[in-house]
Structure 1
């Protein structure tokens, strides 16, 4: 929620999608902002990539 600026509902939906499908698109936007967010997610121990 903190890194991606998601509401609790969005965060819960993402977690359920990841649980059942193995991955989820959590954010779209400018590449510079996505790079920062991706780095923060990786630092938090999560898997993340920009595609």
Structure 2
């Protein structure tokens, strides 16, 4: 009879939760850019559907600004730069 000693394994699993601070990409109204230009920019840069881009553009026009995308600073900063490159005012807040 071959008896093996029973070994108990207690595994402590450490879960690392990284706190990620989400931010908003905010686009601001101006008197220079057309609705069509802002809509096309939101579609091209932010990946909006046409209806979503149009709604955001209306909010930008009537409210003065609109948060067009939510994400980490690292995700939003290049999008903000691309929007600036098209002559539109935006910030990551």
TM-score higher than 0.5 here?
Answer: yes
Tell me which residue corresponds to 1:22: 64
Unmatched 5+ stretches in structure 2: 1-42
- Bigger RCO of structures 1 and 2 (CA < 8 A, at least 6 apart): 2
Tell me which residue corresponds to 2:73: 31
Larger of the two Rg values belongs to structure: 2
How large is the RMSD of aligned CA atoms in angstroms?
Answer: 0.6
Q: What TM-score do the two structures reach when normalised by structure 2?
A: 0.53
Q: What TM-score do the two structures reach when normalised by structure 1?
A: 0.95
Q: How many residues align?
A: 51
> Quick check: which one's strand share is greater?
2
TM-superposed CA distance for 1:31, in Å, is: 1.5
> Quick check: which one's helix share is greater?
1
